[in-house]
Amino acid sequence: MNTPPGIGQSGADLALISAIIHSNSPEQNLELYRKVFRALAPGGRILIRDHIMEPDRARPRGGAIFAINMLVGTDGGGTYTYKEVENDLTAAGFTKVRLIQQGEQMDGLIEAFKP
């Protein structure tokens, strides 16, 4: 009997982290990225959808306002710049990190790969 493709193989091809990182501190996000890295097969991809802030943290406007909400409503959450997310993904072992979409709402997209 043939085993269907994917059965008995370890590692996922894709992990979607959608509207989560803003609730976490930078340390919590780094740990999340490390867990995702371990769960992915080589060549697997992580996609992150969230507010992705400009370096000045004032844009997108909705993300700046949302950051205040996270400051008040979480222990360590906030909104993050592309560079912050890129640095953490790289520290977790990911490569080929790129910003796919900046977004005005919570629709920024960042992609990275497990080598």
Cα-based distances in Å from 86 to 46, 52, 102: 12, 11, 14
Looking at residue 41, its pLDDT comes to 97
DSSP 8: T
Looking at residue 5, its pLDDT comes to 53
Looking at residue 73, its pLDDT comes to 87
Ranges of residues in the chain whose predicted pLDDT is under 70: 1-10
Cα-based distances in Å from 81 to 4, 8, 37: 41, 38, 21
Total-model pTM: 0.88
Sequence spans of domains, the chain: 12-56+73-113
Looking at residue 47, its pLDDT comes to 98
Do the beta carbons of residue 104 and residue 97 sit within 8 Å?
no
CATH class of 12-56+73-113: alpha beta
Looking at residue 55, its pLDDT comes to 95
- pLDDT tens for each residue of 9-41: 569 999 999 999 999 999 999 999 999 999 999
